[in-house]
Structure 1
């Protein structure tokens, strides 16, 4: 009896300890291995345990005037384990660990205290300890230069502006290779605006840029230039800036930082780096002036197009019509600018000092706004309108005016389409007098026997389709009438082949129609997803840092096509890969973490399967 009571007490204590460990909230913070430098992002990770799986807790960083903090990813991990108490009873527990990854960027040198982070979930609140990090100034590299080239003239909302990022190095080939391998180019300009980038293809030179959302790679060109009598190797890449709001933007200098090896050690496999030295280059501060489009001076045919080289072309589905028949008028706009945002002005709106050419007495237009479709190469946009001609005197579809704003010339330009010749026929009206009535026929006299066919044929019948009294029993040969027609031309075998072939041709025609009707964008997207999935598969056999970089680049190319929970999971995997890729010290012979690799593979396979 006493031993039984002791067992019950032990069981109760075990349950209490397990319950306390399951519901106690524990948070901690770790920083990547130093040293830490001003202007270079430092990875911080907040680990939280003891929180429920749903809803996801939030993490709020403390305020610091010397260090900026940016959340780059949240990664929940679920662990299930089993415990056995003294009585042999099994208890299954689930432990959820949340990892919040931040990037800390110091604005000045010195020791800075990063205040505690607060993790909340409903009424559960837990705080981390504060962290003190010492940030050092990075030495200026006399061999390295960096530049951000913006337009010297004002830009306007809706404009697509090319900007250039250049990295210069005047050292030896080995110094250039070592610096480029660890190069980090950053500007707050990359996070403040939106861009359209041309991703590099296999075999293209790429330039890596650092943003708050992670690294991006843009297509680049390599050239040699001479400055002040010294030859430099220049790697330059171009991005398209999407201007949205007016204002004057003062941009801090762009920076480029890298690290070079200062100490080596010999191993069985050769040499490996033992010490690094950070170097940097600083560009010039920039000012971007965004002016408002003078819409008060815009012509009536302006519909938001900004750029240069626009043209308009019209065509119809037919040229000979009757009054009131609907015509499909296809309007194609071509040019270099914001075609995705450009609309079609009302074709019935008169241009300045010009009479309305689409007279309502002659034309009737659909009241719905035409929805345009941008072409695959992004150089044209097509609109479809329904038009009815209401007057026989109309001989052509009038020209349509189209206006756009030219940023460099700072004025509006107007272009007109060519007229389209048509022929309008009068509408044919059918009256009651045009209806043909059948004439009454005299009933034929009764005849006891069927008359011969010759007699019927010679009968003067005003309507040749009347067969009253005709003898339709033409064939009297019994053997011929009893013959099975299906035995002709090969019989049932031939019929089976013909039917099977016809069904097969119909099926092939359906497959071809389905292939031709498929959206070209969907075909390209599927091809890109399969290519990136193959890249992730190949990354499994690469070293840890290279594999993490390949996986992160592949997932970023796929990220623009998904939303919701799948996008959250993808961002978490990319953030985890960036942490691995930026880790200062790493074993080059170590492969990627299997759990991280399988998470990336599952996301990519799901996107391929659902596209």
Structure 2
């Protein structure tokens, strides 16, 4: 037994240990904004920080007036224990964007934490345009080019966007960013591309000399992308919704990594540019001189017609096949092309009935095929008349009508029935061609006898019988295995990512082989995304250091790790300094070998 003083001391020590651990702090909700000064069109983050809440209701949309939420929130958790006090934090990160200048009020945001309402304090932010310095117009400007300023409705328009970007120079380190490094400074995701949205995967680049606003000759990287459009209505096409944002470097430093000879951006500022050109005008083809057979086709076309069958009776269907071939300089959107209006062609409808609505047609490359049924109304019809097709030629600004050659037919009179051939007529009915033979004994002539009913046949087991019995259990097993696999994939998203990691990486490497200028960058991205997929890490490019740390932690062999490290170093050097000798030409193949070796490693 312990004496009383020692019992009291033990009790005090126990309470000192347990009380901090048992102390319960109330749940708390806090609002954080990445910046109180934001720029129009540039995404920024709003965070809701939930502290010490056992339960909470997910808020998927903020619904703040003046802000546009780009995607559902990303949730992250953290548990921190200090002096035996544990704090559990959940952070919901919302990516939003301001569409107009002005002050934006963020009201108090309410959530249910542990069954009780909690609200954040209101906040205010200011949205403004990206400030333009005197050098911005020299560093970045845009051009949209087209062959003409006026087009006709139905005509294909080819547009070219040119991004003129002045390369960054650093005299201290004697470094000039190459075209690939400068392209990475363009905010593809935060810029507004208008009609060029989705075309940035196919960008061409060249270096061009150009005089700036001060008359100084400078070398620019010009990134171009093309887009063809077919307007569906007359009007104008403006380009004021195109706004390109570039994170232009102002200072660089040697990268703080295990590799030497590489640089990273130490400071930068955002610059933006818009398109300064008049809208393109889209007009309807003129009404003057418009032929009746015109159905909206604009361009240059060939037209042929065939008919089957060519020997029919009056009223039998004849299938006309109308083929329109596009010969325009720019491919026409054949999905919008309509057939000639046969139902209103008087030379055709005076001898034929045109059935049904105008067909939709089938597009095959530069060819569109329509089928239409017609029926001859009398036996005197000798041919399908010449069918006209009209289109408007935008080059000559005139209507052109081409006609298919007439198609000869043989039309017979329709077969008729006399009264004697009609059931119920006054003629005498003919004798039946066939009669049923009467069986002697009538229905009693069936086989009878208990022996027939009780007779049995011996059952012999064969491979066919065994297979028939086994099909059911085998099918059940296959279905059960398939459902188990589906449930596993649905419940474990990382399993699907790991399975397709190598396939996705090889797809990116195939793009690298087709784009020598981007080979090093695509190869590095393929390796880093492969590691992210294998380790089930959040989507997005990993840094070189993170890739190597993750592979080392996963127990990858030192030799494989060294190969990956050398590969990424060469990719980084090529990214900033351009190709070195012939080394870059083998980067994609080296990356493929690294992926094959990593595939055989079992990452822990």
TM-score (norm 1): 0.52
Residue 237 of structure 1, CA deviation: 1.6
Residue 347 of structure 1, CA deviation: 0.4
Question: 2:95 — aligned with what?
Answer: 101
- Secondary structure of the 1:374 match is strand
Question: 1:240 — aligned with what?
Answer: 228
Residue 245 of structure 1, CA deviation: 4.5
Question: 1:303 — aligned with what?
Answer: 295
- Secondary structure of the 1:394 match is coil
Residue 238 of structure 1, CA deviation: 0.6
- Secondary structure of the 1:344 match is coil
Aligned counterparts of 1:412 and 1:184: Cα–Cα separation in 2: 46
Question: 2:303 — aligned with what?
Answer: 312
Residue 385 of structure 1, CA deviation: 1.4
Question: Could you say if the C-alpha distance between residues 250 and 430 of structure 1 is closer, same or farther in structure 2, counting changes exceeding 3 Å?
Answer: closer
Residue 550 of structure 1, CA deviation: 7.5
Residue 363 of structure 1, CA deviation: 0.7
Tell me which of 130, 138, 152 is aligned to 2:124.
130
- Secondary structure of the 1:340 match is helix
Question: Could you say if the C-alpha distance between residues 396 and 412 of structure 1 is closer, same or farther in structure 2, counting changes exceeding 3 Å?
Answer: same
Question: 2:599 — aligned with what?
Answer: none
Residue 275 of structure 1, CA deviation: 0.5
Residue 38 of structure 1, CA deviation: 5.8
Question: Could you say if the C-alpha distance between residues 42 and 381 of structure 1 is closer, same or farther in structure 2, counting changes exceeding 3 Å?
Answer: same
Question: Could you say if the C-alpha distance between residues 346 and 428 of structure 1 is closer, same or farther in structure 2, counting changes exceeding 3 Å?
Answer: same
Tell me the alpha carbon deviations over residues 135-155 of structure 1, each in whole angstroms, 9 at most, x when there is no partner.
654642746553221454223
Question: 1:264 — aligned with what?
Answer: 254
Contact 2:31 2:120 in 1 (8 A): no
Question: 1:571 — aligned with what?
Answer: none
Residue 60 of structure 1, CA deviation: 2.4
Contact 2:210 2:218 in 1 (8 A): yes
Aligned counterparts of 1:118 and 1:325: Cα–Cα separation in 2: 76
Query: In the TM superposition, what are the counterparts of 1:332-371 in structure 2 within 5 Å?
Result: 332-335=323-326, 336-350=331-345, 356-360=346-350, 362-371=351-360
Contact 2:40 2:97 in 1 (8 A): no
Residue 394 of structure 1, CA deviation: 2.0
Question: 1:381 — aligned with what?
Answer: 368
Question: 2:504 — aligned with what?
Answer: 535
Contact 1:117 1:129 in 2 (8 A): yes
Residue 328 of structure 1, CA deviation: 1.8
Residue 400 in structure 1 maps to residue 383 in structure 2: no
Residue 308 of structure 1, CA deviation: 1.0
- Secondary structure of the 1:60 match is coil
Residue 97 of structure 1, CA deviation: 7.8
Question: 1:71 — aligned with what?
Answer: 69
Aligned counterparts of 1:327 and 1:265: Cα–Cα separation in 2: 77
Question: Could you say if the C-alpha distance between residues 250 and 366 of structure 1 is closer, same or farther in structure 2, counting changes exceeding 3 Å?
Answer: closer
Question: Could you say if the C-alpha distance between residues 53 and 163 of structure 1 is closer, same or farther in structure 2, counting changes exceeding 3 Å?
Answer: farther
Aligned counterparts of 1:331 and 1:189: Cα–Cα separation in 2: 43
Question: 1:590 — aligned with what?
Answer: 546
Aligned counterparts of 2:239 and 2:398: Cα–Cα separation in 1: 27
Aligned counterparts of 1:124 and 1:385: Cα–Cα separation in 2: 68
Residue 357 of structure 1, CA deviation: 1.0
Question: 1:217 — aligned with what?
Answer: 200
Question: 1:322 — aligned with what?
Answer: 313
Question: Could you say if the C-alpha distance between residues 535 and 248 of structure 1 is closer, same or farther in structure 2, counting changes exceeding 3 Å?
Answer: same
Residue 309 of structure 1, CA deviation: 1.4
Aligned counterparts of 2:61 and 2:528: Cα–Cα separation in 1: 28
Tell me the alpha carbon deviations over residues 286-330 of structure 1, each in whole angstroms, 9 at most, x when there is no partner.
22143442575544333343x311333222332222222112222
Unaligned runs of 5+ in 1: 1-16, 64-68, 82-94, 196-210, 351-355, 441-464, 469-495, 497-529, 552-575, 595-611
Aligned counterparts of 1:189 and 1:151: Cα–Cα separation in 2: 23
Residue 349 of structure 1, CA deviation: 1.5
Tell me the alpha carbon deviations over residues 100-148 of structure 1, each in whole angstroms, 9 at most, x when there is no partner.
32234786xxxx7543167689999977633457865464274655322
- Secondary structure of the 1:286 match is coil
Aligned counterparts of 1:52 and 1:148: Cα–Cα separation in 2: 50
Question: Could you say if the C-alpha distance between residues 96 and 257 of structure 1 is closer, same or farther in structure 2, counting changes exceeding 3 Å?
Answer: closer
Whichever structure has more strand as a proportion of its residues is 1
Aligned counterparts of 2:253 and 2:320: Cα–Cα separation in 1: 72
Residue 154 in structure 1 maps to residue 150 in structure 2: yes
Question: 1:182 — aligned with what?
Answer: 185
- Secondary structure of the 1:327 match is strand
Residue 185 of structure 1, CA deviation: 6.5
Unaligned runs of 5+ in 2: 1-23, 80-88, 168-174, 212-216, 423-427, 438-463, 465-498, 510-520, 531-537, 551-604
Root-mean-square deviation (CA), in Å? 5.5
